[in-house]
Amino acid sequence: MQYRPLGRTGIMVSPYALGTLMFATQVGNPDHDDSIRIIHKALDAGINLVDTADAYGDAEEVVGKALKGRRDQVVLATKVSRPMGTGPNQQGASRRWITTAVENSLRRLQTDHIDVYQIHRPDPATDIEETLSVLTDLVRSGKVRAIGASTTPPSDIVEAQWVAERRGLARFRTEQPPYSMLNRRVEREVLPLAERFGMGTLVWGPFAQGLLTGRVRKGRQNELRRAHLLRHLNDERRLDAVEQLIPVAEEAGLPMTHLAMAFTIAHPGVTSALLGPRTMAHLDDLLAGVDVVLGDDVLDRIDAIVPPGTDVGTLDQEYAPPALLTPHLRRRPLADRSAA
């Protein structure tokens, strides 16, 4: 396994990173011991970045158990801001909540520090200066080594960097956007911005939540576990693109999973791509592709199917700004809508 710099943090991480959502018993592997064996095999293979979140059910607890005796070998990342209860203050990026949530994550992870602490989704209700201020305090206390964010709009990335510099606060060192052969919009601004600001990127969804595993074909029954929950897993436009990408993999002599991972980590703005294995067989398949290199001819064919900087459809998990969710934020009052 080769290692890449995580932006300008000085931390070196593997291009393959281990995502842990599928180790949550509610949505993934119900056997903690089996999940721990998978984590250990990933570490033995040289993967040194493990990414989790407080909102991933009991995944933090599984990771905490797995890292006993191996914590120093791992760059441990987790996230905060998604709802963790029914109370109005059990979510978000306020000082009040982050101060509580980080202690809960440290306890579940059975560690005294988090290497990369990330804001899981933007919180437009909280001033970014408030968020950076509490994160700065966590860095100075030693509980957090570096801070980052996930699924952040480009303008918010720039604002956070500017506020940090102006106020002398810790700045976001990482960004975690979705990125795959089907979702390439981040190539327009997010990945170039990350390179400009010296940020590492831990991209999620390299297999498009299962569409790029080779298991899903148009006109056949979709057997993905979350197909009945997520609209984008049944999007005809995405399925059409998959049908065009499968021959590219076949002619390159590669499984779709290997094509998908090799494409994702080939971008110079990508530091690591998150794997999300649920079983040991899933991990074995992915590890078998660590030495795959895609030539320009293969990448050119992918570009012809899904042009650079474009998405095929919209991910259900994608962050939507308030103006897209609340009509009155994008509509003038009736009396002001006329040009006359």
Q: Which two tokens stand for residue 311?
A: 């998405």
Q: What one-letter code names the amino acid at 121?
A: R
Q: Is 3 a catalytic residue?
A: no
Distance CA 323, CA 333 (A): 15
One of 16, 56, 117, 179 is an active-site residue; which one? 56
Q: List the catalytic residues.
A: 56
